[in-house]
Structure 1
């Protein structure tokens, strides 16, 4: 064999080996799989937000990737998802109420506190101004969970087994609240008897007389069928939800840079998508439930008075948790 022929053979053989190596590497590295978790089914705005997140990541990443969304609380509740993301096990992404982040960041629940936002327009302006970045930074540092987008947008009211048209009729009401201290303090300040119990125990709690009420946005009232045990929706409009789309920092650190970039971009856009869905669906859901005779919306006359009673509590709490600057900035946005 000539030298040139021998060289060609060696090059061909080397090319074949290299190609085989590439093929073997491709087979050795299956597509990345990310696991999400949510308490609800696909009719809920949270599920729609997370499915949009999946769609956008696939679009921006442009390479094979698998998503598994564990629905209907099959992996527990939001507080469990956050713990899993913190540990880097079982759940890579999900939507979690800020109330469940208080172990790592005292200021986190403040972004979702009662009577923080004047109305939906104010709420949107606060989110667009990125006022919440210091809290997101603290959660990322202390909990190793990234807040990559902000969903939510539902207005929360009090569902109860009796109507409450004013503060006098709310007095002493045993109402379930979220675990963050600001919820108990503000509800107690207006004369109610707040009780912290797990979200999935609210229905039975009202049914068995342990509590008489809870508070939620329309999507939650519909999904959990709270109207069956508490058909009076007292329109206190005491909060507008912020529900961060969270991603495990431990998982994120292991991912390739182009996938990391896709996740950050998709999270922000999916959050905005979720806000638009939930805020626009809110009234429609309540109207449909009322038309079907499942609940009755009860006008509430004393919201302004309730706000004035809560304001000092909010200011004191902001000072206590070092969120005075954030609170002042939120209030200053017109």
Structure 2
């Protein structure tokens, strides 16, 4: 895998050099050039992810007096997030919105996102990722994977969204649940007694509708804005993970931008991150109300039995991840 990353890094760097020399300005070479970026994600047009992308595009266009434009492709128009990441490595996609865990296939360090029941609540999560430890984790992931994860679009806690009611852990026995193809997620749901099924995000709706899967786990806003509630009208408030999506870049590409472009990008992303966290917190109750009005039944669960079933997950994690987990739990 590291050999693959090295090869792709060389290809991406070569693409950047050729673009800068050509003078077409598409990828952000010399100062003053027009820059056009392609941004892709898997979420719906009304999702907070897409609204954040639109806000980023507006911020950058204003800051650059129109020299930087961002073309946005929601709803997996450019492929699955896995495919978009691969396109980003070679320069055909510039920005992808996804989570830390999505790069676990490139580095075991990204498994930190999938450690279940790591945070007591949202405040604990924010304290962790707003700290120096959060910066340390992001830098380590960049160095080991090649991906630079910038900003944060807060997603809220992940819940269990199913085609049948799940009121306790016993109800979940054998449940065919879609999970991303990430080892930590798979291990977690195996420990919980379900039958985790890795599946691309853009196949989840049809999988639920056709019975290939019986559940998916994501924040409440995903159940709403990707219309999963239409085919899976039950939600168990497991709150097993807290997390954010990020504006992902190929690290060497970002490092190759001129200083002015990096500064405008960083400032634009910081503003979107602050705005999106406020909006996510404000809209949480609205999302729940919308789902209830559209026939979704919510159930609280006794998290104790779920936590106990997954205590050993961290034991198989990378030693650095285990160190971070200890720091987070102590904090």
Query: TM-score by structure 2 length?
Result: 0.84
Q: Which shifted more, 180-189 or 263-272?
A: 263-272
User: How far off its partner does 1:59 sit?
Assistant: 4.3
Partners of 1:237 and 1:253 lie apart in 2 by 36
Give deviations 1:12-41, integer Å, cap 9, x for gaps: xxxxxxxxxxxxx99997511121112234
Unaligned runs of 5+ in 1: 1-24
Look up the match of 1:329. Answer: 327
- The DSSP-based 3-state class of the residue aligned with 2:310 is helix
SS at match of 2:243: strand
> CA-atom RMSD, angstroms?
2.4
**What CA distance in whole angstroms lies between the structure 2 residues aligned with 1:274 and 1:112?**
22
Q: Give, in whole Å, the separation in 1 of the partners of 2:115 and 2:87.
A: 24
Aligned to 2:87: 84
Q: Higher mean Cα deviation, 213-222 or 260-269? A: 260-269
- Report 1:56-75 matches (<5 A): 56-62=59-65, 64-75=67-78
Q: Distance in 1 between matches of 2:273 and 2:148?
A: 13
SS at 1:107 equivalent: helix
> After alignment, is 200-209 or 153-162 more displaced?
200-209
Confirm or deny: 8 A CA contact 1:151 1:243 kept in the other structure. Answer: yes
Query: Gapped runs of 5+ residues in structure 2?
Result: 1-22
Task: Return the alpha-carbon distance in structure 1 between the equivalents of residues 201 and 70 of structure 2.
Answer: 26
Q: Deviations over 1:111-159 (max 9, x none)?
A: 2443121111111111111423233223323433211212223221111
Q: Cα offset for 1:313?
A: 1.7
Q: CA separation of 1:252/1:26 partners in 2, compared to 1, >3 Å: closer, same or farther?
A: closer
Do residues 312 (structure 1) and 312 (structure 2) align?
yes
Moved more, 173-182 or 274-283: 274-283
Once residues 68 and 56 of structure 2 are traced to their aligned partners in structure 1, the CA distance between those partners, rounded to angstroms, is 13
Residue 269 (structure 1) shift: 3.0
Can you list the C-alpha shifts for 1:246-305, whole angstroms capped at 9, x where unaligned?
A: 123343244221111121232233223222222332231121121232x111222x2122
Count of paired positions: 304
Looking at structure 1, the residues matched to 220 and 242 of structure 2 have their Cα atoms a distance apart, in angstroms, of: 11
CA distance in 2 between partners of 1:245 and 1:30 (Å): 22
Within 1, Cα distance between the matches of 2:280 and 2:40?
18
1:268 and 1:329 map into 2 onto residues whose CA distance is: 25
Which residue of structure 2 aligns with residue 208 of structure 1? Answer: 210
Call closer, same or farther: CA 1:268–1:321 in 2, change over 3 Å. farther
Distance 1:317 1:131 in 2: 21
